[in-house]
Amino acid sequence: MPSERPASIEPQESQPNVIKVGPKDAARLQAIQQSAVEHASGVLLNPEKWADMPPEEREELLRDPNTVFFVAERDGVFIGMVRLFKALPTQELEDKELQDEQGEVWKIGSVYTMPEFRGQGITPTLINRAIEEARARGAARVGLITQTHLDAVKLYQSLGFEAEETYIDTNDENKEKVHMYLNLQKTGTQQDSS
């Protein structure tokens, strides 16, 4: 049965496998994180932190029940990734929507596709998989933060996300960023469970 969620970009026939990664994949995830550090120019949330993290800490993050990494894999190589995590209060996070009147909020971050694979529908496929996971975990809303000048804003809007708040990030070279949210209750909850 079709979802009531706005139409997303349909995956192409040559789409890679999207898999949930765990601690055993920490070393392989390091390679795509390193590519992100080299090519993303600030698009990811603290990619350097991952790069500098000792292997045992990376594995611990991949065991965290409130964090899920999905990767796009083709021919055994990770070519794209997305992180889904439950919004929890921290000193760095000043998100007033941790749990609103509608329920839990999960966040999307670390969205990255290797440059040679961009334009093939990989990012929307990864985002859709993260949205499915958030829905399965009972999230009422999924949020993310992106820079306002990026084409990503249009992509997220095409997937049903709405801009809610724009701000200047003084911790990131005063870049203008926007909080975007997808209301899962508004977009419907019908999923094919087969």
Q: Which CATH superfamily is domain 17-88+100-183 in?
A: Gcn5-related N-acetyltransferase (GNAT) (3.40.630.30)
Give pLDDT tens digits for 22-77: 988 888 887 787 777 777 554 444 555 666 778 888 888 889 999 999 999 998 88
- Identify residue 181 by its one-letter amino acid code: Y
Q: Calculate the CA 188 to chain-centre distance.
A: 20
Sorted by sequence, the CB contacts under 8 Å of residue 52 that are 6+ apart come out as: none
Give pLDDT tens digits for 152-191: 899 999 999 999 989 898 887 888 999 999 999 865 434 4
Q: Calculate the CA 149 to chain-centre distance.
A: 18
Q: Give the model's pLDDT for residue 29.
A: 82
Rounded-to-integer distance, Cα 178 and Cα 181, Å: 10
Residue for token digits 């990030």? 169
Q: Give the model's pLDDT for residue 1.
A: 41
* pLDDT exceeds 50 at position 85: yes
pLDDT interval class at 135 (50, 70, 90): very high
The domain ranges of the chain are 17-88+100-183
pLDDT interval class at 147 (50, 70, 90): confident
| pTM, entire model | 0.78
Residue 73, beta-bridge partner list = 17, 78
Q: Give the model's pLDDT for residue 186.
A: 67
Q: Which of 187, 156, 194, 192 lies closest to 5, judged by CA? A: 187
- Residue 5's H or E segment, with its range, is none
Rounded-to-integer distance, Cα 52 and Cα 69, Å: 18
The Cβ of residue 144 has, within 10 Å, a number of other Cβ atoms equal to 22
Report whether 73 contacts 122 (CB < 8 A).
Answer: no
Sorted by sequence, the CB contacts under 8 Å of residue 172 that are 6+ apart come out as: 42
Give pLDDT tens digits for 99-111: 555 678 999 988 9
Tokens of 73: 């894999």
pLDDT interval class at 97 (50, 70, 90): very low
Alpha-helical (H) ranges within the chain are 26-39, 47-52, 55-63, 122-136, 152-158
